[in-house]
Amino acid sequence: MTEFERQADDFINNEQQFHLGFLPTEQSNPLTRSMEKDFKTSTAAGVRTLQRADRPVLEMAKKIWRSAEFSKLVADGISTVENGGRIIFSGCGATGRLSILLEAMWREACAANPAMAARADAVESIMTGGDYALVRSVEFFEDYASFGRRQVAEAKMTACDMLVAITEGGETSSVLGTAAEALDRGCKVFLLFNNPAKLLCEHLERSRKIIEDPRVCVLDLFCGPMALAGSTRMQATTSEQLIAGSALEMVFHHFAGIPVPDYGAGFEKLLSELEGSVDALAEYIDFEAQVYSAGGKVTYFADAFMLDIFTDTTERSPTFMLPPFKKSGDANAPEPWAFVKNPLADTASVWAKNFRRAPRCLAWTPDDYIKMGAAEKISANPPHISVADLMEIEVGNAPCPARWATGKDAAVLVGFDTDPALEAAFAPFSKCAARVERLTLGEGARISVNCRGGALDVVRHMAIKLVLNTISTGTMVKLGRVSGNWMSWVDCTNKKLLDRGTRLLVELAGCDYRTACTALFAAMAEQSGHPASGEKLSPVQLALKNLTSGRRPDAAN
């Protein structure tokens, strides 16, 4: 038995709790199976196919808003804030970035309303991997419940506080760990996820333990598979943002004395307006695909909605195997295809404005990781995810000559309506770019949506999310990084993605699970032997190439 066969055998026999092909969020959505073909027909046809999967979110949300569980979420949120406690959202990956966004939305609304200023600290967030994971995925952290427990402890949660744990699949270990620790501390605990609760309880012990705990209020937001199979940054996170965001806004409105919007009507109107903006979305997708096809890069410039843009751009790295954001001065790492900057302020000021509080990053030591039971590869070489590391992601107004080095690069201004100050600050950067575009949303704008609403701007944040999800997915389909409606250029940075990559190989290579898993471990080892500089091929694609060429994975690779 080769080393790779042994690794595959261990994963197959001992990591079955991470074999998730039975979950709807990991399966192909019949509404979008023709996605690749439709984009080849026309970009507009592909966009229409992508949009089909958003309608079930609305139908699910209407039921949830009428439920006793949602009423309890709002009522307990009100009582928690009223009694001086905190509402703390926790998540990992896309839901971690959503948790940070929800906190920032609350803080921004408090800053805009003097009567609410004293309640700004009533909402917090826990992101698996800390705030640094907002801009770059932290490998394998989601596999450890102990990491989530540690972050709850560091937040000093007490029985006065309330935890809203958000996990798209309902099985993310780190997020379930935050729920378990919060329960141990006597907190109110809510759990939001996007697969049938019964299915999770039947198959996954870690999920069953939390879901069936009578102290946990469960909101099952199941609304079908993702438009892009397994990409829970899409409809799963959309539904969670809509439900958690509307609940939080209702809490705010209670204290501010503001009438509650009709979220169902607002979201339905938004979906219709985006369906009416297909041509504009398709035109922009074609633009971005052309830039990347020519070897250029795209830099987004924004102010008020930077966190929303990070939520999409950061997820592009593991989803489509694109280079992640890199630290300034790192000459070895490749330039990310997409980057985000605010031309109005320096990096430290931009981060302060984004979070509206001090960054919460992790500075755990090797001993900390050992005590939490982390794998040796983590404890021996802890990731650099501190505040200092975050500040090295140059998102402020410093010059960025590397972003214009190819002579084929683009500067894109993103936001709602027209902001004269932002336009003026954008101008010097736009002069450096070979191509300039504006991705504007608003009444009569390029993407015509009229979605002003409550104090937290829930629907406008939903609009930015849906537009960016459509653009990033459509662009990657155009560039051949999607097969059917599967992400075939996925990275394998945790156990869930190892399983997803293996299942994808089974489908694409026509082999059995064990053969696919062995080939995937071999491909990952082959990748690790390559220099760090330059862009890497997806391990799934490398394994597929090896399988279809008849190359046998062995320990010599």
Q: What is the predicted pLDDT for the residue at 555?
A: 41
**Residue 533 CB neighbour total at 10 angstroms:** 10
pLDDT, tens digit, 9 for 90 and up, residues 489-506: 888 888 888 998 999 899
The DSSP line for 420-480 is HHHHHHHHHHHTTSSEEEEEEEETTSSEE-----STT-HHHHHHHHHHHHHHHHHHHHHTT
Could you tell me the strand order of the sheet in which 162-166 lies? 123-127, 87-91, 162-166, 188-193, 216-220
Contact 277, 284 (CB under 8 A): no
Tell me which of 53-62, 314-323, 467-476, 509-518 is least confident: 314-323
pLDDT at 243 over 60: yes
Predicted confidence (pLDDT) per residue in 364-393, tens digit:
999 999 999 999 989 999 999 999 999 999
Measured CA to CA in angstroms, residue 137 lies from 39, 316, 386, 469, 554 at distances of 29, 10, 14, 18, 30
Mean pLDDT for the stretch of residues 47-58: 97
Q: What is the CATH number of domain 38-44+268-482?
A: 3.40.50
Name which of 56-65, 109-118, 467-476, 535-544 the model is least confident about. Answer: 535-544
- Identical fold, 38-44+268-482 and 54-259: yes
Give the pLDDT of residue 137.
87
Q: Tell me what percent of the residues of the chain surpass a pLDDT of 70.
A: 98
pTM value is 0.93
Q: How far is CA 163 from CA 93, 181, 220, 406, in A?
A: 17, 10, 16, 47
Is the pLDDT assigned to residue 554 strictly greater than 60? no
54-259 placed in CATH 3.40.50.10490:
yes
Residue 557's pLDDT band, with cuts at 50, 70 and 90, is very low
Residue 205 banded pLDDT, cuts 50, 70, 90: very high
Name the band, by pLDDT with cuts 50, 70 and 90, for residue 556: very low
Q: Where does the pLDDT of residue 9 fall: very low under 50, low under 70, confident under 90, or very high at 90 and above?
A: very high
Written as one letter, the residue type at 212 is E
Report d(CA 288, CA 469) in Å as an integer. Answer: 13
pLDDT of residue 553: 57
> Which sequence spans correspond to the domains of the chain?
3-28+485-548, 38-44+268-482, 54-259
What's the confidence (pLDDT) of residue 150?
98
pLDDT score of 139: 79
Give per-residue burial for 168-188: e unless 16+ CB within 10 Å, then b.
bbbbbbbbbbbbbbbbebebb
pLDDT of residue 16: 87
pLDDT in tens, 296-330: 999 999 998 999 999 899 999 888 989 999 999 89
486, β-bridge pairs: 229, 483
Q: What is the pLDDT of residues 401-442, one digit of tens each?
A: 999 999 999 999 999 987 899 999 999 999 999 999 999 999
For the chain, give the mean pLDDT. Answer: 94
Q: For 393-409, how does the pLDDT look when each residue is reduced to its tens digit (9 = 90+)? A: 999 999 999 999 999 99
pLDDT at position 453 is 78
Per-residue pLDDT tens for 116-142?
999 999 999 999 999 999 999 887 899
